[in-house]
Amino acid sequence: MNIGAVTGDVTEEVTLIADELSRAVELTLNPAVSHDARNQAYNACESFKENSPWCAQAGLLLASGNQYSAVVKHFGLQLMEHTVKYRWTQITQAEKIFIKESAMKLLYMGGWETGHLNDALARVIVEMIKREWPQQWPTLLAELSDACARGHLHTQIVLHVFLRLVEDVATLQTLEQHQRRKDIYQALTSNMAEIFAFFMRLIELHVQEFREKTAAGDYGAAASNGRVVQVVLLTLTGFVEWVSTNHVVMNDGRLLQILCILLQDDVFQLPAAECLLQVVNRKGSTKERKPLMILFSEDAVTCIHRAALASIATVDEKQYLFLKKLSQVLAGLAQQLTTLWSNATNVDAWLPVLLETMLLLTSHPSLTLAHTANSVWLAFLKHDQISKLPHILAVVPRWLQAAAPKVLKVSYPSSRNNNVSDAVAYACMDYDSEQEFAIFFSRSRTEILDSFRYCMMAAPLVTWAYVEQWTQAALDKVDSCPPNIEASHPLHVEWEALSQVLDVALSRLLQAEPRPCVAAGLRLLQRCVCCEPRAPLLLSLLLSFISALFVFLSCASSQLAGPGVGVAGADLLLRVLDKIFAALVYEGSPQEDRRSRSVKNVRRHAAGLLVKLGSKYPLLLLPVFGRLHELVRAALARPDLSAVESVTLQEALLLVSNHFCCYERQSALVAQVLGDCSARWAALGPHVSSAAALARLVGLDVAPTGPGEGDDEHGRARRTLLHALALLLGVVKRTHVPADPDKILKKVSIEQG
């Protein structure tokens, strides 16, 4: 690029200044010179930028001179931009015209092959637009259109001008002067039809030329067309999120049609997906978003499905990045569909294809893709009308098969292996640390389990059949399990996930219609009761199975279940209680493991389960209260029962006793539970009368003693205090009078009669 072609005669003074600036810029980036020399050169450049009246002229000379390096050219463009941004109101009209014409001449000459220089030139033009257009520069759009006709580099610079302009005015709104931003915004809006038509012409022309040149083997020329298409898509991404939807869907949705087609092209699919994502994530009123329903057509959804199918078949990081973006597009489409469902047409043509695409993403090894796809399923299953569609119900069994493995816990690896394509490998690609992955996995699992919950409402028989089959298969494996397993053992991982699924699915059993077979649920519960896993970790999870399946006992007690089922349920209830109390006194195998953490967890889980059952199903336990009370007394008599376990057991009794509706019986039980608690508190009275006395009681005023170092009097005092406190709080928390006063009056009248 020749300076004479741009500016004509340049004074010798400016030429000398430009040469000095060039040397200074080169010096700032020269690692061979001293730090002081670089700093001095940098200060000289900054001083010239801030103070020299020749800033724009020298900048133009640096930017257009063939003898200068790319770094120097970039500094020259920065000088021009600085002049426009900070001195525009101080320079003369002649200087403004000189800068404007010089920048446009640089544009007409095609810029440079280096992308960041073209972007810097675009910023110079944008800064002038922000100060002159439309009032002082009415021919801007025509000039930019004329520049595009000169070549591909010219076109890319023009597109960058549009992109940077809308970022400053509409997207990021960095233009500080409100009135100027309003003027430019209105000018953009009034010319938007012309601007979008311009983008459409560019994208159609260069996509066609790209394909023709690629077919002819002229890959260099095709690459040039491809870069233009990519910049057009990037620029459109900055427009489609805020312009009127009428422009996005003009010409019968031609833009959206092109974007969907480009999803199948390896070169353009990622920027096309990014642009489409901005479209489907648009906010606003229902009326504003209604035109987007044009995306719900057989052609558009088929394009998305084919793109997903092709990318899944190719295992590499670029295709995976595209799949993540495509899954976000589908999530956005789902949100639009659930809001605008009343406007959906020809659903039978495109919904099955959309569901197949979602199944592909759900089945992918990546948990990130499965999590995004699950947001679609969750939106559909929550929707009152969509969840009842035959197409949705037909794919529920396949969705269950694909989603259930995603609930299994995945551990972030200590080392990375790039040669595998499983959930762990994709976790390494998506997350940088174990903590980051753990946060994601917790959120992902919670949302997938939420989908199981709503699936139980939409298709209860199918969901229960799958969960029942999975539970039966899991119980079949218990005999082959060794007595000591770690939490990472495959069977423990499976049982832990299954316990979560059982819990969320059966939590909606009573609301499900039609309701699954109660007899089948009782048979599964009976099998769990008969199961005897040797590993403490599995026994604890078996209690979780029993907890989830306990709801079938509640159903069996209903008159609707039938007399046979009711009798079976009553018999099974006693066996369930026996199973829970057997776990409560579980000692492990061998016996010396009795104080291990896993054995303690089993015992505490059993005690906590009794409290849960007493809270959720007190009326079911009320007829067998005598047996329950007997089992509790037997357990309390054991010397190895901890204080926490004993208090928890007594809390379960109190929860059931709340439904006695008899003050004498309930108060007698409370007195029995408290026992000598009042005497113990009386004995503790002097020790808790002051902070100093309490500190002496628990041993805070003496050095701690190690285990086995004599009789620890302070330790016994701490245990006594904690047990008395926990027992008293348990009684206060768990005991209450019946909420219905009519029940109290009825019970009193019966007893008096």
Give pLDDT tens digits for 387-444. 999 999 999 999 999 999 999 999 888 766 555 568 888 998 999 999 999 999 999 9
What CATH architecture applies to the domain 253-408?
Alpha Horseshoe (1.25)
Query: 545-583, pLDDT tens digit by residue?
Result: 999 999 999 988 875 555 667 677 888 999 999 999 999
Q: How far apart are CA 69 and CA 54, in angstroms?
A: 20
Q: What value does the mean pLDDT take over residues 607-624?
A: 94
Q: How far apart are CA 270 and CA 722, in angstroms?
A: 62
Between 282 and 701, the higher pLDDT residue: 282
Q: How far apart are CA 65 and CA 70, in angstroms?
A: 10
Q: How far apart are CA 491 and CA 227, in angstroms?
A: 52
Query: 261-279, pLDDT tens digit by residue?
Result: 999 999 999 999 999 999 9
Query: 107-120, pLDDT tens digit by residue?
Result: 999 888 888 999 99
pLDDT score at 1 = 39
Nearest to 188 by CA among 162, 224, 218: 162
Q: DSSP for 604-650, please give it.
A: HHHHHHHHHHHHH-HHHHGGGHHHHHHHHHHHHT-TT--HHHHHHHH
Q: How far apart are CA 554 and CA 318, in angstroms?
A: 53
Nearest to 80 by CA among 57, 105, 109, 52: 57
Q: Is the pLDDT of residue 363 over 70?
A: yes
Q: What value does the mean pLDDT take over residues 91-98?
A: 93
The proportion of the chain whose per-residue pLDDT surpasses 90, expressed as a percent, equals 75
Q: How far apart are the first and last CA of the chain?
A: 112
pLDDT score at 7 = 44
Q: How far apart are CA 259 and CA 606, in angstroms?
A: 58
Q: Which two tokens stand for residue 584?
A: 């409560």
Q: Is the pLDDT of residue 17 over 70?
A: yes
Where are the domains positioned within the chain? 1-87, 116-240, 253-408, 662-753
Query: 129-180, pLDDT tens digit by residue?
Result: 999 999 999 999 999 999 999 999 999 999 999 999 999 998 888 888 889 9
pLDDT score at 708 = 52
Using an 8 Å Cβ cutoff, are 106 and 6 in contact?
Answer: yes
